[in-house]
């Protein structure tokens, strides 16, 4: 699934939007690309593009076996002007890895991958409540371009929301 990150949280929340066909887009609103690369040389060995459907889902038919390659889905672009930014945070994944071999114990040929999201330029005000529901508190104004969240270490070493 490709989603629009309304809160700039860099994960799906209850108010995230699907980047889907329709809503002013002629065919589809998000373009994704799957790239497979040789594990040793990092040379591109296979590539295919796809678009999201009305549910924000994409399907990429794959030819051949890619057991010795590292394959990833990457975001290319969004036709929804409010969701055009791809996170440049070095700690955030900008892709979703996928295993494309019949030799991995997965019985079905369908490979689900983690959601990928485009960021909204500015978080909406309701994001404060959405993030509080998840036990997160913004350390800076949520409507700012870059939002971060604060956690304190609990007594057992497990992160717990701070009370700042």
* Residue where a domain stops, chosen among 103, 121, 139: 121
Q: What is the per-residue burial (b if ≥16 Cβ within 10 Å, else e) of 117-127?
A: bbbbeebeeeb
The reported pLDDT for the residue numbered 28 is 53
Q: Are residues 62 and 84 in the same domain?
A: yes
Q: Are residues 116 and 129 in the same domain?
A: no
Give the number of domains in the chain: 2
Give the pLDDT band (50/70/90) at residue 26.
Answer: low
Q: Are residues 67 and 140 in the same domain?
A: no
Q: Are residues 130 and 115 in the same domain?
A: no
Q: Are residues 135 and 111 in the same domain?
A: no
pLDDT above 90 for 16? yes
pLDDT above 90 for 14? yes
Q: What is the DSSP letter of 11?
A: S
Q: Are residues 164 and 116 in the same domain?
A: no
> CA-to-CA distance for 45 and 72, rounded, in angstroms?
12
Cβ–Cβ under 8 Å, residues 6 and 16: yes
pLDDT above 60 for 23? no
Single out the residue of 152, 136, 142 nearest to residue 6, CA to CA.
142
Domain boundaries, position 9: 2-121
Q: Are residues 146 and 66 in the same domain?
A: no
The reported pLDDT for the residue numbered 75 is 93
For 114-160, the pLDDT digits (tens) are 999 999 999 999 998 998 898 887 654 334 444 444 443 333 333 33
Q: Are residues 55 and 34 in the same domain?
A: yes
- The CATH number given to whatever domain includes residue 27 is 2.60.40
Q: Among 2-16, 62-76, 112-126, 131-145, whose mean pLDDT is lowest?
A: 131-145
Q: Are residues 137 and 154 in the same domain?
A: yes
Q: Are residues 98 and 64 in the same domain?
A: yes
Q: Are residues 113 and 164 in the same domain?
A: no
Greatest extent of the chain over all pairs of C-alpha atoms, in Å: 53
pLDDT above 60 for 25? no
Q: Is 102 exposed, middle or buried (0-12, 13-18, 19+ CB in 10 A)?
A: exposed
Q: Are residues 79 and 133 in the same domain?
A: no
Overall average pLDDT of the 8-36 stretch: 82
């Amino acid at each position: 699934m490709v989603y629009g990150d309304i809160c700039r949280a860099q994960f799906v929340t209850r108010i995230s939007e699907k980047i889907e066909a329709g809503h002013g887009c002629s065919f589809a609103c998000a373009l994704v690309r799957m790239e497979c690369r040789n594990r040793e040389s990092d040379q591109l060995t296979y590539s295919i593009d796809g678009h999201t459907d009305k549910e924000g889902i994409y399907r990429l038919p794959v030819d051949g076996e890619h057991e010795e390659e590292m394959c990833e889905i990457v975001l290319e672009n969004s036709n929804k002007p409010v969701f055009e930014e791809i996170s440049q945070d070095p700690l955030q994944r900008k892709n979703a890895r996928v295993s494309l071999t019949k030799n991995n114990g997965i019985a079905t040929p369908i490979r689900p991958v983690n959601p990928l999201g485009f960021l909204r330029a500015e978080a909406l005000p309701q994001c404060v409540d959405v993030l509080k529901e998840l036990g997160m508190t913004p350390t800076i104004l949520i409507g700012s371009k870059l939002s971060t969240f604060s956690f304190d270490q609990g007594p057992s070493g497990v992160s717990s929301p701070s009370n700042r």
